[in-house]
C-alpha cells in the first residue's frame, strides 16, 4: 500500500463519516426550517453562538446538548434485558450509518498508475452491502418495540417489520433490474455507466433508462426510511409514537438521528443509482480531466456570480423587516459571512488559475476534478434531502392497510414486470 493510497483511504473515510454525521443536525434544522417555510412560518432561527445564527442551525446543537444532559430514565416495568433496550436504538443508528459508507463520493482517482476508490469502505459489492446492512435497521426497531413491554410499541414495531417485508421485495427487484442494466453491483461502476448518453442527447441516468424501476426504487426507499407518507410505524394518531414510545433522552435521540441518517443514506442511494451520482449530466470523468481548462474557466466565471447572489440574498433575508429597529447583530453576521465567502471564492479562483495555466499538473487536475465531483454529489444529496422533506410536509400518511396494499398488489407485480422487460431488452441488445 502506497502513501497515496493510505491518505486517500483516510480522507474518504473521514468524508463519509462527516457527510453522514454532520448532516444530522443540518437535516434536523432543514426539516424544521423547511416545514416552517412551507407552512408560511419561519421555523427556528433565533439560537446563536456569539451572535452567529447561521440561519438557525445552531438550534440543533442546542437540542443535542439538551438531550445529552437529560435524565437517564427507564420505565419501571423494564426489568431484564435492559442492555438490549439500550442497544436497540444503536443498532438502528449504526445500520443506517454503515449503509452510507459504500456510496462513492467521486470517481476513482488515479495516482501513479494506481486506481483508488473515493468510498468510505472501498468495496466492490456496494449494492449487496447496502441491501444487507440497510435491512438490519429494522431489527433495532423490533428490539425496541418488543422490549418496551408496551402495546403501542409492539404495534409500531410489528408495523415496521411487516412493512419492511412488503417493501424489501419491490426494492430488491427494482435494484435487480438496475443491476442487470448497469451490469455491475459496484456503485462506482453504476455511476460510470450513467455518465454516457442515450438517444444522443439525454443523460443516461437511471431515471431515463429505467423510469418505472426508478419510481419503484424511490417509493420503496421512502418506505425503508419509515418516513412520511409511510410513517405508519410511528403514527401518533393511532399508536402514540410507535416503537419509541418508552424511549427518552439520548436513547430516543438515537432513533431520531437514525431516521435522518437513513434518509441521508436513501437520498445517496437514489442519486447514485438513478440520478447519475457525483457526475454532472453529459460529462464523464475522462471528459472532465481532459478538458479541465474549459471547466475551470466556467467555474471561475460562475462561482463569483453565484456568491454575489448568495450574499445579496443573505443581506436581504438575514434581517428583520426594514421598518423595525434591531441591534445590528444580524448585519454584523452577514458582513462576516460575506467576507468569508469572498475570501473562499478568491482562494478557489487562484487555485483554478494556477491549475489551468500549469502545463502538466496531472495530480492537481485529478484532485480538483475529485473535489468538483464531491461538490456535485453534496449538492445533489441536499436536493434529494430537501425532496424527502418536501414530501413529508406535503403528503398525508397512508393508512396501514393501504400501505400493505400498495406494496404487495401494485409495487411487487410492477417490479416483477419491470425486471422481466429489462431482462428481455438487455438480452436482446447484447
Partner 1 sequence: MGKNIKVVPRHGREFKDRLYLPAIYNGMKITFKHLIDNVADSNAVDTLEYPEEQPTDITERYRGLHRLTHRDDDTMACVACFMCATACPSNCIFIEATERNDGKDEKMPSRFAIDTLECVFCGYCVEACPCDAIRMDTGIFSLIGNSREDFVLERDQLLKHKGVFGEENSRARK
Query: Quick one: 43 or 126, whose CB is closer to partner 1?
Result: 43
Q: Which residue in 2, 115, 183, 317 binds partner 1 (CB under 8 A)?
A: 317
- Does 321 bind partner 1 (CB under 8 A)? Our answer is yes
Smallest separation (angstroms) from partner 1 to the CB of 167: 16
Query: Quick one: 54 or 282, whose CB is closer to partner 1?
Result: 54
CA dist 201 and 83 (Å) reads 57
Smallest separation (angstroms) from partner 1 to the CB of 42: 5
Specify the stretch interacting with partner 1 by CB under 8 A; choose among 72-80, 258-266, 301-309, 318-326.
318-326
Pairing of strands 197-198, 202-203: antiparallel
CA dist 7 and 409 (Å) reads 49
Distances in Å between the Cα of 27 and the Cα atoms of 19, 98, 263 are: 11, 18, 9
Q: How many Å separate Cα 379 from the centre of its chain?
A: 10
Smallest separation (angstroms) from partner 1 to the CB of 223: 14
Residues 32-61 that bind partner 1 (CB under 8 A): 34, 37-42
Smallest separation (angstroms) from partner 1 to the CB of 38: 5
Specify the stretch interacting with partner 1 by CB under 8 A; choose among 13-21, 31-39, 265-273, 360-368.
31-39
Which residues share a beta bridge with 114? 111
Query: Quick one: 194 or 415, whose CB is closer to partner 1?
Result: 415
Q: Which residue in 1, 199, 325, 427 binds partner 1 (CB under 8 A)?
A: 325
For 244, the 3-state DSSP assignment is helix
Residues 201-220 that bind partner 1 (CB under 8 A): 215
Distances in Å between the Cα of 277 and the Cα atoms of 137, 195, 232, 260 are: 24, 9, 30, 20
Smallest separation (angstroms) from partner 1 to the CB of 274: 16
Q: Which residue in 84, 90, 128, 319 binds partner 1 (CB under 8 A)?
A: 319
Smallest separation (angstroms) from partner 1 to the CB of 398: 10
Instruction: Please provide the size of the chain in residues.
Output: 430
Q: With contact defined as beta carbons under 8 Å apart, do 222 and 167 qualify?
A: no
Residues 250-309 that bind partner 1 (CB under 8 A): none
Query: Quick one: 322 or 428, whose CB is closer to partner 1?
Result: 322
CA dist 178 and 390 (Å) reads 26
CA dist 428 and 430 (Å) reads 6
Query: Quick one: 52 or 309, whose CB is closer to partner 1?
Result: 309
Smallest separation (angstroms) from partner 1 to the CB of 111: 41
Pairing of strands 106-111, 114-118: antiparallel
Q: Which residue in 69, 199, 301, 324 binds partner 1 (CB under 8 A)?
A: 324
Helices (H) and strands (E) in the chain, counts: 18, 4
Distances in Å between the Cα of 244 and the Cα atoms of 90, 142, 225, 299, 318 are: 13, 10, 15, 47, 37
| Count of residues that interact with partner 1, criterion CB under 8 A | 23
Residues 337-396 that bind partner 1 (CB under 8 A): 390-391, 393-395
CA dist 265 and 242 (Å) reads 22
CA dist 163 and 160 (Å) reads 5
Helix (H), strand (E) at residue 105: none
Which residues share a beta bridge with 118? 106
Smallest separation (angstroms) from partner 1 to the CB of 349: 27
Q: Which residue in 2, 115, 326, 357 binds partner 1 (CB under 8 A)?
A: 326
Distances in Å between the Cα of 86 and the Cα atoms of 29, 68, 255 are: 26, 14, 11
What angle do the packed helices 3-21 and 82-100 form, to 10 degrees?
120
Query: Quick one: 183 or 402, whose CB is closer to partner 1?
Result: 402
Query: Quick one: 219 or 257, whose CB is closer to partner 1?
Result: 219
Specify the stretch interacting with partner 1 by CB under 8 A; choose among 115-123, 324-332, 345-353, 375-383.
324-332
Residues 102-161 that bind partner 1 (CB under 8 A): none
Can you give the binding site for partner 1, defined by CB under 8 A? 34, 37-42, 215, 313, 316-317, 319-322, 324-326, 390-391, 393-395
Amino acid at each position: 500500500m502506497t502513501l497515496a493510497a493510505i491518505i486517500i483511504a483516510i480522507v474518504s473515510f473521514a468524508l463519509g463519516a462527516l457527510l453522514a454525521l454532520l448532516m444530522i443536525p443540518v437535516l434536523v434544522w432543514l426539516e424544521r426550517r423547511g416545514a416552517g417555510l412551507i407552512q408560511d412560518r419561519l421555523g427556528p432561527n433565533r439560537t446563536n453562538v456569539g451572535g452567529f445564527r447561521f440561519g438557525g442551525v445552531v438550534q440543533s446543537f442546542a437540542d443535542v446538548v439538551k438531550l445529552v444532559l437529560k435524565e437517564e430514565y427507564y420505565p419501571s416495568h423494564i426489568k431484564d434485558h435492559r442492555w438490549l433496550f439500550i442497544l436497540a436504538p444503536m443498532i438502528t443508528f449504526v445500520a443506517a450509518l454503515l449503509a452510507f459508507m459504500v456510496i462513492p463520493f467521486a470517481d476513482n482517482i488515479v495516482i501513479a498508475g494506481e486506481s483508488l476508490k473515493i468510498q468510505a469502505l472501498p468495496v466492490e459489492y456496494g449494492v449487496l452491502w447496502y441491501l444487507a446492512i440497510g435491512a438490519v435497521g429494522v431489527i433495532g426497531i423490533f428490539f425496541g418495540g418488543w422490549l418496551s413491554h408496551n402495546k403501542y410499541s409492539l404495534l409500531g414495531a410489528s408495523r415496521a417489520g411487516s412493512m419492511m417485508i412488503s417493501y424489501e421485495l419491490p426494492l430488491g427487484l427494482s435494484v435487480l433490474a438496475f443491476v442487470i442494466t448497469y451490469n455491475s453491483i459496484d456503485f462506482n461502476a453504476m455511476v460510470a455507466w450513467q455518465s454516457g448518453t442515450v438517444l444522443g442527447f439525454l443523460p443516461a441516468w437511471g431515471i431515463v433508462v429505467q423510469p418505472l424501476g426508478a419510481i419503484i426504487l424511490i417509493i420503496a426507499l421512502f418506505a425503508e426510511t419509515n418516513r412520511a407518507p409511510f410513517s405508519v410505524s410511528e403514527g401518533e394518531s393511532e399508536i402514540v409514537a410507535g416503537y419509541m414510545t418508552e424511549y427518552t433522552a439520548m436513547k430516543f435521540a438515537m432513533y431520531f438521528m437514525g431516521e435522518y441518517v437513513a434518509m441521508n443514506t436513501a437520498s445517496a442511494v437514489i442519486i447514485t443509482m438513478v440520478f447519475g451520482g457525483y457526475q454532472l449530466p453529459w460529462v464523464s470523468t475522462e471528459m472532465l480531466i481532459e478538458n479541465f481548462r474549459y471547466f475551470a474557466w466556467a467555474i471561475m466565471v460562475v462561482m463569483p456570480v453565484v456568491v454575489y447572489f448568495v450574499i445579496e440574498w443573505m443581506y436581504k433575508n438575514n434581517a428583520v423587516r426594514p421598518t423595525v429597529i434591531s441591534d445590528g447583530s444580524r448585519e454584523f453576521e452577514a458582513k462576516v459571512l460575506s467576507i468569508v465567502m469572498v475570501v473562499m471564492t478568491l482562494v478557489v479562483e487562484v487555485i483554478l488559475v494556477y491549475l489551468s495555466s500549469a502545463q502538466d499538473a496531472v495530480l492537481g487536475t485529478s484532485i480538483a476534478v475529485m473535489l468538483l465531483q464531491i461538490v456535485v454529489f453534496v449538492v445533489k444529496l441536499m436536493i434529494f434531502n430537501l425532496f424527502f422533506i418536501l414530501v413529508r410536509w406535503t403528503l398525508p400518511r397512508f393508512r396501514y392497510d393501504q400501505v400493505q396494499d400498495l406494496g404487495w398488489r401494485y409495487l411487487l407485480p410492477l417490479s416483477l414486470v419491470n425486471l422481466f422487460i429489462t431482462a428481455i431488452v438487455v438480452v436482446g441488445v447484447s
